[in-house]
Structure 1
Amino acid sequence: MNSTLINDFGKKIGGARKDTWKGRGLSLSDLYEMTAEEKKVFVKKDNVWEKPDWTSLIAAGADKAVSFWKNEVRKSLPKDPSSMLGEDRNERYVAFVQAVRDHVMELTSMNETRKILTWLKTDGYLVPITPYYCDVPKKWEGVINRSFFKAIQKNTFDLCREKSYPLFGVAKEDADYVLIKNRLKIYFYEGEDVAFKTETRGTSIRKYLSIHEGYATHFYYPEKIEEYEKTWIKNSWIIVDSGSRDIIAYNLCTEKEAADTVEKIARAAAEIAPKKTAARASKTIFHYPQLSWVERKGTDYRNGFHATPELLMDTFGFRGGEFGNWLGDKERQENLNQAYDALMDLADILETDPKNLTFHGTLSIAFGSRGKGGAAAATAHYEPLRRVINLTRMKGAGCLAHEWAHALDHSLAGTFSKPGSSELLASECRISPDAPESWKKLLSALKRKEDGTFTDFYVASDKFDQIHRKSGHGYWSSTCEMFARAFDCYIADKLREKGLRSDYLTAHSDCFVEEMSGTTYHAYPVGNERERLNQLFDALIADLKGMVNA
């Protein structure tokens, strides 16, 4: 790389590298560089012990009963460490799930499954109290529960009785065939365990077919019972449907003939079984119109000079900044200049110290370094787990106000949300009683008019959900996305009021329009709804500035 390139600045942003544990599973070493919020999101059973492709494994020769037992053990583990106590619960959870995964997945027969209980006792995960009872050390409480203890002790008989067992590991296209074949039972008619009998109830006499199997007796009452009894030949094979209790075939000479008949019936029935309707048309990606050039009308904050990483750090107090490796020096400089001017415009509109825009120096900024390519690539996005706004090269131009709104939403979560709320953004959390009225009214006004009916903004956003894929942090009609789009409009209107233009800051606020069934839908606030939201944003910004200056 050319040594004259403008380099990353401030503290390293980093981030959880999910691709590194894909396939091998999340391990303890992966936790070391994670933030508390990243651990909350990524420390999950599915990341530590990725669900195996049981269909492929069984097709390759894995024992079905053993595979089903492994799946039962995996399912019994809690999905995350929330049921555990202690500051190191993430580490203990990962260590235990990883250990169980490794011991369970290496077993190849049901005779070996008893080894798991022995291993748990030997390694101290369970403490034997009596020959039939074990205690769970406090260290492992929450992850070793009754469901897990029950799952590891299941035997083949227990597994085969599970309703999901017949279709376990079966390819979707074979499901109908397997279900039908599983219902068809073959028995040898010898007149004793399988025999015609008569029951008398008062003056009523009824004949039935009795099939005694193990400790159970099954009763069949076919319509043609009289005909069957007269025409059946002893010491022949029969086929019955255990679901409908019908007799499917009889007087078959050999067990092989019966098995071949079952195969033909199941295959034929599966062919004519009702198929699921075709999936609905996939949703499209909403593409922002890309700017041919970025126009700006306003104060020359840089006095004709280029912005530098040091200038962004000193002016705004960013925690850090980074560039994509494929970004050349000219494009890096262009992004620095545009970002500096746009952020100064934002500070001017909000009438606040530029350093307040980074929320006590916790916000970072990235230029084309954290997104993924492809048709679905986002033009810009905000990462709550690392508190970083990423702008995708110059395609991110015009999205800064929208993404900064997400950062603002995130920064308010600790103050405006009820304790214990699991969401990262304040707009998606339960609102704290201590939150200012301006916040409560603003969130309400996004979706409800003053008369309690839905806003046109919400109705249109819901329509966008029906035809477009998710946007940013959720559905188009999610509160957090509606909040960000409304804030973008607020900033765009404020610029217009002052006769200013700042395309890098906001350029797409009014582009979310769709025609459906002769009706035009705007997935952004317009008219009276926009005026009302702008007034509420004024009130919220005033309250926030009061909190900063308090």
Structure 2
Amino acid sequence: MTTAPRTTLQVPRIQRGYYRNGPAHRSGADVSFSDLVKVFGFNSIHVGRWVTAEELQLAANLFFDAFADLQQLLQVPPEVISLNGSLALTFGIGGQPGVCAHYQPQGRILALAKNAGGGSLAHEWFHAFDHYIAAKMFGHNVTRNQFSSATWLQSRPIIPHYLNELLSSAYQILFLSADGENESVFFAHCRQLDASHNRLYLAMPEEMAARAFEKVLQRQALKNNFLVSGSQKSAAAALGIYPADSLCDALGNIWLEYFYLLGQGLRHKAQHKSE
């Protein structure tokens, strides 16, 4: 008697589930991508033609929970998540081989691949924030597609504001040594990693900042693996592409205070308007 070879059907990544321990933002109900526009104010959301109805529903729920968790982690109003309605989303459209997610400054588009983008959302969202905040931090001293992190390294003058000062202090400890005279240990390590592959990527300031932000979030008590994963236990983490825990703690203190104060300011402004 012969046994037929057993075939294994590979379940698409999005259908395998993502760990999270956050509150039930949807109370167990399904949501749609239209709900993300209504709640967070995204500029637009486009979905690829090869996304099935089942995948579309799974993705809508995952995105909603992830953005709601991000909102809770940062303690901001929902419009901050869409960067005041300027951010657009795409899911399962185009993409490049080996690239699971990316942020496109032209058009302010955050794009996730259908089966490989989970865990990259926080990283790409910070790219979007980094781009959005550049003009508010540096005014006319930035070009259309510049990031605040990269602009800060060019020693451009910042617009005087307590939030800009906070963000500047985060960039200082991320990129510079304690005395401010040399590059940080993390910056030097990223340069070495890039040199070993004859490229410039890991040491790009916007990439360093996004990786630091995602690890800061993953170290919080609220966990969502669709929002962020792999910054602590992964092959990439073992190479040291993420900042050390001590640096992340220092950055977390600044960034979480930054967003908390931003949220407080926006809520106060909204309340004042309604009175």
Give the TM-score range, shorter chain.
0.7 to 0.9
Q: Deviation at 1:543?
A: 4.2
| Aligned twin of 2:19 | 295
Cα displacement string for residues 109-154 of structure 1 (whole angstroms, at most 9, x for unaligned residues): xxxxxxxxxxxxxxxxxxxxxxxxxxxxxxxxxxxxxxxxxxxxxx
1:253-287 C-alpha deviation (Å, 9 max, x unpaired):
xxxxxxxxxxxxxxxxxxxxxxxxxxxxxxxxxxx
The answer to whether the aligner puts 1:442 opposite 2:170 as a matched pair is yes
Correspondence for 1:507 = 229
Whether contact under 8 Å (2:42, 2:82) holds in the other structure is yes
- TM-score between the two structures when normalised by the length of structure 1: 0.42
Deviations 1:161-204 (A, max 9, x none): xxxxxxxxxxxxxxxxxxxxxxxxxxxxxxxxxxxxxxxxxxxx
Is 2:76–2:262's contact at 8 Å kept on the other side of the alignment? no
Classify the secondary structure of the residue corresponding to 1:489: helix
Instruction: Letter of the 2:216 partner, please give it.
Output: Y
Give the equivalent residue in structure 2 for 1:541.
259
Q: Distance in 2 between matches of 1:394 and 1:338?
A: 13
Instruction: Write out aligned runs for 1:149-160 (5 A).
Output: none
Change (3 A) 1:512 1:295: closer
Query: Which of 92, 98, 107 in structure 2 is aligned with 1:386?
Result: 107
> Following TM superposition, by how much is the alpha carbon of 1:421 offset from its aligned partner in structure 2, in angstroms?
2.3
CA deviation vs aligned residue, 1:352-402 (integer Å, no higher than 9, x gap)? 122221122111111111413x3xx31100111111110101310001000
**What is the TM-score with the length of structure 2 in the denominator?**
0.81
1:460 and 1:342, CA in 2 relative to 1: closer, same or farther beyond 3 A? Answer: same
What secondary structure does 1:381 align onto?
A: strand
| 1:512 CA drift (Å) | 6.6
Which of the pair has the greater relative contact order for Cα pairs under 8 Å at 6+ separation?
A: 2
Aligned residues: 247
Equivalence map 1:108-127=2 (5 Å): none
> Residue type matched to 1:459 in 2?
A
Distance 1:514 1:467, change over 3 A: farther
Q: Partners in 2 of 1:345 and 1:328 — Cα distance?
A: 25
1:476 aligns to what?
Answer: 202
How do 1:402-421 residues align onto structure 2 when only pairs under 5 Å count?
402-421=123-142
Determine whether 1:397 maps to 2:118. yes
Q: Which has the higher helix share?
A: 2
| Separation in structure 2 between the aligned mates of residue 406 and residue 350 of structure 1, nearest angstrom | 16
In the TM superposition, residue 467 of structure 1 has moved relative to its aligned partner by 3.6
Q: How does 1:358-397 map to 2 (within 5 A)?
A: 358-372=82-96, 374=97, 377-397=98-118
Stretches of structure 1 that go unaligned for 5 or more consecutive residues are: 1-289
Larger Rg: 1 or 2? 1
Matched, 1:459 2:178: no
Stretches of structure 2 that go unaligned for 5 or more consecutive residues are: 1-12, 270-275
CA distances 1:454-506 after superposition (whole Å, capped 9, x unpaired): 33321221122124476xxx721121111111110111122x2xxx3211001
Offset of 1:409 from its aligned partner? 0.7
8 Å contact from structure 1 (residues 400, 506) kept in 2 = yes
Distance 1:477 1:293 in 2: 32
Is residue 485–residue 524 contact of structure 1 (8 Å, CA) maintained in 2? yes
RMSD: 2.4
Give yes or no for contact 2:119–2:230 (8 Å, CA) kept in 1.
yes
- Higher fraction of strand: 1
Task: State, as a whole percentage, how many aligned pairs show the same letter.
Answer: 26
Question: Counterparts in 2 of 1:10-159, with a 5 A limit?
Answer: none
> Residues 76 and 264 of structure 2 are in contact (CA less than 8 Å); yes or no, is this contact kept in structure 1?
no
